[in-house]
Structure 1
């Protein structure tokens, strides 16, 4: 655990500098142009129970929200996308909204409550927890996370792990998952051997809410049953998970229409939130070597463990994803799925996407990358489900971090790939 060069330390210090006071939402939102209200409605589409058929549906621009066990898919689609789905020969029936539920002692954290929780954590555990900001949203809010490590103020020569959540505003349970994991790492440090070992030998970067503006908007009218808002809050609101600069718009896995739920933006990284996270990850290249070894994007609601690539159905791609790299991704993915009981598969086995986060982190940075789709059957599961839905990922989140020293260990090729690391 030797400190790196002074230059690397100064870079990290700048990135993790004390945050400026948050810009009041009312001040920025009142003056900024607002996105048009979404015209997307929810439909149950039948007759599309294969990856190829789901990809046809996705290529209309509709957002596939969930694949049901019987093969039917729940989608969010604007009128033109609905018409295109029907022209493909699929049946689409309107769905009602998500059920409302009574508030309980355990409820979802608002953005303000999330920031207060992060403040509480760093105040309680200052030696191992520190806030950082990767930049600002379209409406001027800080995108805040917590770094957790044994010598948190020092940029050490340790494998790094980057977990982000709430890239889609309505996926509210994902913020709770990040907060629970932050709480686990800090509270159990020094008492649980496994966690102590990880915090001593890793640097965790965890962002509970990436899409801050969207999350606040989604919770504005009713903190229990939201607006079903997915994108950010630019005037031409963008699906942040189609806006990354790798195979952007290449393969029918996103939409060029600003009205669509899967609008990819005007250009790669045109959304400030996407650019902020990409710039941060690029900044973790120290001495020509990417320090982040494991990336996870936490979504809901399909109960899946996914790995690259999403833009192609090919299991391997020459120069991009070798047989050993695919095998290591797959083996780790299947291992964590044994604990959360999600379905493990390559992203494109679900349907084709392009410009996604984990395609970018693997394709441009060589970071072993995953997406978790949490459960709950709804973007707004009852608060009484929070504990159960988050606890199933305790071991999976730890397992991913344990592999950060050498993911090839999963296929017993650590001597070939990691001996000199």
Structure 2
């Protein structure tokens, strides 16, 4: 599904062309308002108009700008005054979205979103309540030394059985706290449903589920626990040879890293890909965990969702190319990705599409998990659909509703994890 393929006006084409001509001037510049250890000054969201195609949006991202939201003929970005001036000098038209400053956005109550410590406490409580269904493992530590935890949910969870494994990752981007709530929702639904819900019982009897609630705990703590949100995206790892802080973990994976204009080489950019693939401490921790799930040379993880906010989208590889197929991604693979993506989107009301229908990204977790590990990997961009719903910080009273909205999609992925090609009737060929 390609909902944004509209005819571009001559005026917009001229704007994009001007931006491309000026792109060399932007080399080495970034869109992070500041990345000093003391943190960024006030930033807010801006609408950039005159962009209605993937190529135009990609031209914007090649200036080092991270896109928060795609609209039919514009995008929304988070930026400070210096970034706004720079983009305007490149020919872009920007207008501020009122009330979207990070300083303006606060949770309805301090307890709306789980802190890092509260997240671990809830996981430990569920493990104590369901000891036969839940085990936990510290798979590594963040740059600042916080535990990165993987939670296993399965019947006979303490035993590594020969069953398809499914991975759910969350909170690669620090400010996307709703995704951590999604992790806790999945954990509670699966454990409370075992033995009382026939579908969940059957799935946990035949699947092993791994949940990583926060892949970026340093960034989460930094964004959430100062008294007001900071609109922080990256991790908290310094860049060698620079005073700037942070790598975009979802541009740091070791597949087509930095290949295609879908990330930035500038440490100040929100989409800074790091000095090398897997240079992000947290990227390497999760990648090593995934590689460690190979048994006898066969990857046990078969399916995956990486939860983000926002936009209400179901996305699949590849992100680095506009082409529907590519090396290691055949027409049959693409058809299976699309069919399952559309079925999951049918259950939650999201828009399904190939990732690059939005704009080019490279070094993403989806592309690495499929291109390097052969895992059917999706991104879910959760609620809201747009900035008017709260952007990265929706009010706490929607958390239960919006996490529950993905229950059916999670179960669908679990059901097809034994053979995703079954959804296109090709199980006899591939499974």
Q: What is the TM-score of this pair, normalised by structure 2?
A: 0.85
Residue 187 in structure 1 maps to residue 192 in structure 2: yes
Q: Distance in 2 between matches of 1:401 and 1:190?
A: 17
SS class of match (2:173): coil
Out of 264, 271, 274, the position equivalent to 1:265 is: 274
Shift of 1:89: 3.4
Q: Distance in 1 between matches of 2:352 and 2:202?
A: 27
Aligned to 1:94: 96
Q: Distance in 2 between matches of 1:130 and 1:304?
A: 31
Aligned to 2:398: 385
Instruction: Tell me if the contact between 2:105 and 2:229 (Cα under 8 Å) persists in the aligned partners.
Output: no
Gaps of 5+ in 2: 1-34, 240-245
Q: 1:325 to 1:87 in 2, by over 3 A?
A: farther
Q: Distance in 2 between matches of 1:364 and 1:78?
A: 37
Q: Distance in 1 between matches of 2:83 and 2:338?
A: 33
Aligned to 2:287: 278
Greater mean deviation of Cα atoms: 265-274 or 41-50 = 41-50
Q: Distance in 1 between matches of 2:225 and 2:377?
A: 32
SS class of match (1:61): coil
Out of 210, 215, 218, the position equivalent to 2:220 is: 215
Aligned to 2:136: 131
Aligned to 1:150: 155
Instruction: Tell me if the contact between 2:40 and 2:230 (Cα under 8 Å) persists in the aligned partners.
Output: no
SS class of match (1:245): coil
Q: Deviations over 1:280-324 (max 9, x none)?
A: 10111111110000011100011100000000000011x410000
SS class of match (1:170): coil
Q: Distance in 1 between matches of 2:96 and 2:70?
A: 16
Instruction: Tell me if the contact between 1:76 and 1:261 (Cα under 8 Å) persists in the aligned partners.
Output: no
Aligned to 1:397: 410
Aligned to 1:65: 68
Residue 416 in structure 1 maps to residue 420 in structure 2: no
Out of 108, 122, 127, the position equivalent to 1:122 is: 127
Aligned to 2:250: 241
SS class of match (2:306): strand
Out of 368, 376, 382, the position equivalent to 1:368 is: 376
Aligned to 1:333: 341
Residue 56 in structure 1 maps to residue 59 in structure 2: yes
Q: Deviations over 1:242-280 (max 9, x none)?
A: 000011111110111111111000100001100000001
Shift of 1:83: 5.0
Q: How many residues align?
A: 382
Aligned to 1:252: 261
Q: Distance in 2 between matches of 1:208 and 1:152?
A: 18
Residue 300 in structure 1 maps to residue 309 in structure 2: yes
SS class of match (1:365): coil
Instruction: Tell me if the contact between 2:51 and 2:74 (Cα under 8 Å) persists in the aligned partners.
Output: yes
Q: What is the TM-score of this pair, normalised by structure 1?
A: 0.87
Q: 1:34 to 1:58 in 2, by over 3 A?
A: closer
Q: Distance in 2 between matches of 1:124 and 1:139?
A: 30
Gaps of 5+ in 1: 1-32
SS class of match (1:156): coil
Q: Deviations over 1:320-374 (max 9, x none)?
A: 1000000000000000001111110000001000000010000100000100000
Shift of 1:151: 1.0
Q: 1:35 to 1:104 in 2, by over 3 A?
A: closer
Aligned to 1:289: 298
Q: Distance in 2 between matches of 1:109 and 1:395?
A: 23
Shift of 1:78: 5.9
Q: Deviations over 1:41-81 (max 9, x none)?
A: 5321011121111111111111101123x432111246675
Q: Distance in 2 between matches of 1:339 and 1:153?
A: 32
Aligned to 1:12: none
Instruction: Tell me if the contact between 2:115 and 2:225 (Cα under 8 Å) persists in the aligned partners.
Output: no
Aligned to 1:231: 234
Q: Distance in 2 between matches of 1:162 and 1:34?
A: 34
Shift of 1:391: 1.1
Aligned to 1:17: none
Q: Distance in 1 between matches of 2:366 and 2:107?
A: 36
Q: CA RMSD in A?
A: 1.8
Shift of 1:103: 3.4
Instruction: Tell me if the contact between 2:106 and 2:229 (Cα under 8 Å) persists in the aligned partners.
Output: no
Instruction: Tell me if the contact between 2:135 and 2:151 (Cα under 8 Å) persists in the aligned partners.
Output: yes
Q: Distance in 1 between matches of 2:398 and 2:404?
A: 10
Q: Distance in 1 between matches of 2:324 and 2:159?
A: 39
